[in-house]
Structure 1
Amino acid sequence: MRLGVTMFATDLAMPVQDLAAAAEERGFDSLYLPEHTHIPVSRRTPPAGGQAELPEEYKRTLDPLVALSFAAAATRRLRLGTGILLAAQRDPIVTAKALATLDHLSGGRVVVGVGFGWNVEEIENHGVPYGRRRAVARRNVLAMRAFWRDEVASAEGLEPSWSWPKPAHDLPVYLGGAAGPKLFAHIAEYGDGWLPIGGKGVKDALPALREACEKAGRPEAARVIPFGTRPTREKLDHLAGLGVEEAVATLPSGPADVVLPVLDEYAALLEAMS
């Protein structure tokens, strides 16, 4: 079982480059960073986590691609993930270029976790109707994959174009979201796996995910990476028994004296399992 970590990187939290170096030194496989472009103060949308108030870190989130470039420079083998990138809120041409550049410069270490978003007003501020966010995210991811893959890339709404650099490897795209036919259809069509939050319910959902991917002729896309979990030996053993090879553990968003003790706790769990 490989274990990665994720943290809300903010202007008040432990510097990303320091966290990345500490994670690599302790044997972690990856670092994933989330994205919120901004948080409208109207707060029409209640927090996705069910909190009474939206946690402060949502307002202060760093751009994940810029932050991951600092993580790349501070490490040599740590994989660099977005967890998650809000594809419907991004220009696909610019984002494809940024991700390809990061992968090129880091020696092929980028992983692209994509989500559809939950904050209605944030999404609408990008000119995307909330009910269209899945369709727009799909269009944008397909466009990015074309830019990464093809010498002359074509996609919906874009004329045939050149764009370099190409990524150093085939960038895996994992989709986040709740289990269900809509999400699994997206994964089967254009994803490489599923990022379920926490990992609860994976056992029950796996047959439907595998069926959707097999019907699409892409059984390899039924990979599962439980995301933002709080790992225990029992939980990781359970996931391994389901065929899960990687999980991503959540870290608090805070300074080093808050983050490092939790990172050390997870590192001790890793060592006990080795």
Structure 2
Amino acid sequence: MRLGITMFATDRAMPPHLLAREAEARGFGSLYLPEHTHIPTARLTPPPTGEETLPEAYARTLDPLVALAGAAVVTGRITLGTGICLLAQREPIVTAKAIATLDRMSGGRFALGIGYGWNVEEAADHGVPWRRRRAVVREHVLAMRELWTRDEASFEGEFARFEPSWSWPKPIGRVPVLIGGAAGPTLFAHIAEYGDGWLPIGGAGVRQALPRLREACEAAGRAPVPVIPFGTVPTARKLDHYASLGIEQVVLRVPAGDRDEVLPVLDAYAESYLT
């Protein structure tokens, strides 16, 4: 089983490029970083963590694409991904250019993990119509695919549109789009239409959800896509359970701390699960 890591990268945590180098040296296969552009101080949306107060780290996250560019130049093997990118809040033409650039800088090692978001106030500041955010994300992905794959690209949608245009660089290969979110028919329909994998946060309930995901892919005329439990706190039993389901990659959570806090966790994970 291929194991990766994710950390809530902030200006107070271990720098992501150093984390990426240390993770690669220990044999981990990927590093994923999350995204929040900002956190409005007056909020109505409850924290997704179940805590009364949202942890400060949410307001201190680094831009994941910039941070992963730094990681790209000091590593040569591991996958570098967003986990997750709030694509409804990003302008697709600029984002497509940034991702293509990052993919080339990394030698084709970028993976685009995306989600629909949970913070209503954050999305509102970006002009995202909350009840239509899934449709916004879908169009942004489809528009970016056009820019990545066609020499002369155009797109006409409700939330994204551009006339026939040239845009280089192109990614080295197909940028995998991994969609995060809770199991359900809407999510699985989106994965089957335009996704390349599912990122179930934490991984709870995967066994029960797998048949429904396979059915959605079959209905769309596709083969089953990879399932990558994300942000998992590992145990040997949990990883064995995932392996029994045919899961080949799991992304483990490490604390958003400094080097002295993070490296012992990496060492413990490596010793327990990579040997």
- Same fold by TM (over 0.5)? yes
The answer for the alignment partner of 2:66 in structure 1 is: 66
Structure 1 unaligned blocks of 5 or more: none
Aligned to 1:86: 86
Shift of 1:10: 0.6
Task: Please say if 1:198 is aligned against 2:202.
Answer: yes
Q: What TM-score comes out, normalization by structure 2 length?
A: 0.97
CA–CA separation in structure 2 for the residues paired with 1:133 and 1:197: 19
**In the aligned structure 2, how far is the partner of 1:3 from the partner of 1:169?**
22
Cα-to-partner distance string for 1:84-130 (whole Å, 9 max, x where unaligned)? 00010000000010000011111100000000000000001000121
RMSD: 0.8
1:20-99 equivalence runs, <5 A: 20-99=20-99
1:243 aligned to 2:249? no
Displaced runs of 4+ in structure 1, greater than 3 A?
none
Q: Secondary structure at the match of 2:178?
A: strand
With structure 1 as the length reference, what TM-score do the two structures score? Answer: 0.97
User: Shift of the alpha carbon at 1:271?
Assistant: 3.0
Q: Which residue of 1 aligns with 2:186?
A: 182
Pairing 1:14-25 to 2, within 5 Å after superposition:
14-25=14-25
Aligned equivalents of 1:253, 1:43: Cα separation in 2: 23
Cα distance in 2, alignment partners of residues 91 and 185 from structure 1: 24
| SS of residue paired to 2:81 | strand
Determine the structure 1 residue equivalent to 2:212: 208
CA deviation map 1:162-185 (0-9, x unaligned): 111110111000000000000000
Query: Aligned equivalents of 1:243 and 1:117: distance in 2?
Result: 28
Counterpart position of 2:104: 104
Q: Given residue 229 of structure 1, which amino acid in structure 2 is its aligned partner?
A: T
> 2:274, 2:39 → 1: CA distance?
39
State the distance in 1 between where 2:154 and 2:208 align.
38
Amino acid at match of 1:214: E
Instruction: Give the distance between the partners of 1:164 and 1:237, measured in 2 at CA.
Output: 43
Q: 1:149 offset after TM fit, Å?
A: 1.2
1:128 paired to 2:132: no
Q: Please name the residue that 1:167 is paired with.
A: 171
Counting aligned pairs with the same residue, the percent is 66
Q: In the comparison of the two structures, how many residue pairs are matched?
A: 271
Give the letter aligned to residue 245 of structure 1. E
Unpaired segments ≥5 residues, structure 2: none
Amino acid at match of 1:234: R
Q: Distance in 2 between matches of 1:116 and 1:251?
A: 23
Q: Report the alpha carbon displacement of residue 234 of structure 1 after superposing the two structures with TM.
A: 1.0
Distance 1:52 1:264 in 2: 32
Which residue is equivalent to 1:5?
5
2 CA distance for matches of 1:40 and 1:87? Answer: 18
Report the counterpart of residue 234 of structure 1 in structure 2. 237
- SS of 1:67's partner is helix
How much does 1:146 deviate?
1.1
Structure 1 residues 53-93: Cα deviation after superposition (integer angstroms, max 9, x where no partner): 10111010000000000111111111100000001000000
Q: CA deviation at 1:152?
A: 1.4
| Cα distance between partner residues in 1 of 2:183 and 2:274 | 32
